[in-house]
Amino acid sequence: MKPGDYVVVPSGGQFYVAEVVGDPYYDESHPVAAHRRLVRWLNDKKPIPRELASAALQSRMKARGTLLDTSDLVKHIEKVLEDAKRGETPNLAQELRARMVEAVRQELTQGRMNPDRFETLVERMAQAVGAVEAKWVPRRSDQGADVIARFQLMGGLLVTVGIQAKFYQPGKPMGKDAVDQLAQALRAGVADMGLVITTGDVSEEAYRAAEEYLNRENLRIGILGGRELAELIVDKGLWSAFDF
């Protein structure tokens, strides 16, 4: 045990969490528990209901009269501290959704996906969310959009959306190049509006570029980052888009 480690102290149907902040010392005035460490109590030293903890952490806290290593549950401890701070109560639906979103995001960035497959996925997703027509644009004919999708609005109005599909690995935020390419496509009349979809994170530069194109030229370009993409797939159940 060293400074920075967590200490979990069960107490009935609740538990406390502390952080070790000092080296061990011996206090002869407490012969029963003379070996001590200075700690800082977290969550304002308020007890946390056991039901907020994960199943693994709850199971570990069932031990009595002994000390157990919880170094493999650090993320579980930090999450329950955050939940307690926000005053959240367990919600199985939310937890399952969060796990599914993270699993989809991991598959998009570290699974079998690649740039070509991602363009196909985006085309199929457009069809799955209601496009009356969606087609992949060959690179030799690419005018700034990888996929062209047409959606029918109320009253029969057709809106054409040019989509840039950008496959990025984790840790490499998408710059503004894709936004610039879509702006070029909109100027050329390829589409009525644009959408950039990426598996990765999005830089502030890209968001600023989209806002500037809207303010200066009334070019509407939306951006869907990796987490938002995973949430869309889970929330809309777009699993059929992966069937290729």
pLDDT tens, residue by residue, 109-161: 999 999 999 999 999 999 999 999 999 999 877 788 999 999 999 888 999 99
- pTM score, two decimals? 0.68
- Kindly report, residue by residue over 100-112, the tens digit of the pLDDT: 999 999 999 999 9
Dmax over CA atoms of the chain, in Å, equals: 85
Tokens read off for 87: 């005053």
3-state secondary structure 9-41: EEECCEEEEEEECCCCEECCCCHHHCEECCEEE
Helix/strand/coil (H, E, C) string of 78-109? Answer: HHHHHHHHHCCCCCHHHHHHHHHHHHHHHHHH
**Extents of the domains making up the chain:** 6-90, 115-242
What is the token pair recorded at 53?
Answer: 């903890």
The pLDDT assigned to 33 comes to 77
CATH 3.30.470.20 fits 115-242, yes or no: no
Contact 174, 191 (CB under 8 A): no
CA distances from 22 to 19, 69, 70, 223 (A): 9, 19, 19, 47
Helix (H, G, I), strand (E, B) or coil at 76: helix
